[in-house]
Amino acid sequence: EPEVTQTPSHQVTQMGQEVILRCVPISNHLYFYWYRQILGQKVEFLVSFYNNEISEKSEIFDDQFSVERPDGSNFTLKIRSTKLEDSAMYFCASRASSGSYEQYFGPGTRLTVT
Protein backbone atom coordinates (compact mmCIF):
# COMPACT_ATOMS: atom_id res chain seq x y z
CA GLU A 1 0.00 0.00 0.00
CA PRO A 2 1.47 3.40 -0.89
CA GLU A 3 2.51 5.54 2.04
CA VAL A 4 4.00 8.88 2.88
CA THR A 5 7.59 8.64 4.08
CA GLN A 6 9.62 11.15 6.05
CA THR A 7 13.31 11.48 6.81
CA PRO A 8 14.98 11.67 9.18
CA SER A 9 12.88 10.10 11.91
CA HIS A 10 14.69 12.12 14.56
CA GLN A 11 16.95 15.15 14.21
CA VAL A 12 18.80 16.98 16.94
CA THR A 13 20.14 20.41 16.10
CA GLN A 14 21.58 23.42 17.87
CA MET A 15 19.64 26.64 18.21
CA GLY A 16 20.24 28.92 15.25
CA GLN A 17 21.01 26.13 12.82
CA GLU A 18 19.03 25.47 9.67
CA VAL A 19 17.20 22.19 9.24
CA ILE A 20 15.51 20.60 6.27
CA LEU A 21 12.84 18.00 6.88
CA ARG A 22 12.08 15.76 3.98
CA CYS A 23 8.89 14.08 2.88
CA VAL A 24 8.01 11.85 -0.03
CA PRO A 25 4.25 12.05 -0.56
CA ILE A 26 2.21 9.34 -2.22
CA SER A 27 3.13 9.45 -5.88
CA ASN A 28 -0.14 10.51 -7.55
CA HIS A 29 -1.15 12.97 -4.83
CA LEU A 30 -1.45 16.64 -5.65
CA TYR A 31 -1.90 18.40 -2.32
CA PHE A 32 0.78 18.49 0.36
CA TYR A 33 0.77 19.63 3.95
CA TRP A 34 3.03 20.15 6.92
CA TYR A 35 1.82 19.95 10.50
CA ARG A 36 3.62 20.08 13.80
CA GLN A 37 2.83 18.66 17.21
CA ILE A 38 4.69 19.98 20.22
CA LEU A 39 5.00 17.26 22.82
CA GLY A 40 1.77 16.92 24.75
CA GLN A 41 -0.06 19.46 22.62
CA LYS A 42 -2.40 19.32 19.68
CA VAL A 43 -1.57 18.89 16.03
CA GLU A 44 -1.19 22.30 14.38
CA PHE A 45 -1.49 23.13 10.71
CA LEU A 46 1.54 24.88 9.21
CA VAL A 47 1.12 25.06 5.45
CA SER A 48 -0.56 23.56 2.42
CA PHE A 49 0.98 23.36 -1.04
CA TYR A 50 -0.59 22.78 -4.41
CA ASN A 51 0.56 23.31 -7.97
CA ASN A 52 4.04 24.33 -6.83
CA GLU A 53 2.92 27.08 -4.57
CA ILE A 54 1.70 27.67 -1.05
CA SER A 55 -2.10 27.71 -0.99
CA GLU A 56 -2.59 28.39 2.71
CA LYS A 57 -0.38 28.99 5.72
CA SER A 58 -1.00 29.47 9.40
CA GLU A 59 0.26 32.20 11.69
CA ILE A 60 2.94 29.78 12.90
CA PHE A 61 4.45 29.61 9.42
CA ASP A 62 6.50 32.80 9.59
CA ASP A 63 9.53 33.92 7.61
CA GLN A 64 11.83 31.35 9.16
CA PHE A 65 9.85 28.57 7.47
CA SER A 66 9.80 27.68 3.80
CA VAL A 67 8.60 24.76 1.73
CA GLU A 68 9.75 23.43 -1.57
CA ARG A 69 9.04 20.66 -3.99
CA PRO A 70 12.47 20.49 -5.60
CA ASP A 71 11.70 17.54 -7.86
CA GLY A 72 8.74 15.34 -8.69
CA SER A 73 8.85 13.37 -5.48
CA ASN A 74 10.24 15.28 -2.49
CA PHE A 75 8.45 17.90 -0.43
CA THR A 76 10.66 19.70 2.07
CA LEU A 77 10.18 21.96 5.05
CA LYS A 78 13.10 24.25 5.86
CA ILE A 79 13.48 26.02 9.16
CA ARG A 80 16.11 28.70 8.71
CA SER A 81 17.27 29.53 12.19
CA THR A 82 15.86 27.08 14.67
CA LYS A 83 14.63 28.12 18.09
CA LEU A 84 14.10 25.99 21.18
CA GLU A 85 10.34 26.27 20.70
CA ASP A 86 10.61 24.65 17.26
CA SER A 87 11.18 21.33 19.01
CA ALA A 88 8.24 19.22 17.96
CA MET A 89 7.09 16.34 15.84
CA TYR A 90 6.65 17.46 12.24
CA PHE A 91 4.18 15.54 10.11
CA CYS A 92 3.88 15.65 6.36
CA ALA A 93 0.59 14.67 4.73
CA SER A 94 -0.65 14.35 1.18
CA ARG A 95 -4.03 14.19 -0.49
CA ALA A 96 -5.00 12.86 -3.87
CA SER A 97 -7.29 15.49 -5.37
CA SER A 98 -9.78 18.22 -4.61
CA GLY A 99 -12.55 15.61 -4.51
CA SER A 100 -10.88 13.52 -1.86
CA TYR A 101 -10.53 14.99 1.61
CA GLU A 102 -8.55 12.19 3.20
CA GLN A 103 -5.02 13.19 4.06
CA TYR A 104 -2.45 10.49 4.52
CA PHE A 105 0.11 11.26 7.18
CA GLY A 106 3.77 10.31 7.21
CA PRO A 107 5.35 8.85 10.35
CA GLY A 108 6.77 12.21 11.39
CA THR A 109 10.18 13.68 12.11
CA ARG A 110 10.99 14.46 15.71
CA LEU A 111 13.01 17.68 15.80
CA THR A 112 14.88 18.49 18.97
CA VAL A 113 16.52 21.91 19.20
CA THR A 114 19.10 22.26 21.96
Partner 1 sequence: EDKVVQSPLSLVVHEGDTVTLNCSYEVTNFRSLLWYKQEKKAPTFLFMLTSSGIEKKSGRLSSILDKKELFSILNITATQTGDSAVYLCAVEALDDMRFGAGTRLTVKP
The phi, psi pair for 100, rounded to 5°, reads: -120, 120
- Tell me the one-letter amino acid at 91: F
104 sits near partner 1 (criterion: CB under 8 A) = yes
In the complex, least distance from residue 16 CB atom to partner 1, rounded to whole angstroms = 27
60 sits near partner 1 (criterion: CB under 8 A) = no
56 sits near partner 1 (criterion: CB under 8 A) = yes
Q: Virtual CA dihedral for 3, 11, 80, 28, nearest 10 degrees? A: -10
Compute CA distances 107 → 8, 14, 59, 83, whole Å.
Answer: 10, 23, 24, 23
Q: Which of 21, 108, 111, 113 binds partner 1 (CB under 8 A)?
A: 108
Residues that bind partner 1 (CB under 8 A): 31, 33, 35, 41-45, 48, 50, 55-56, 58, 89, 91, 101-108
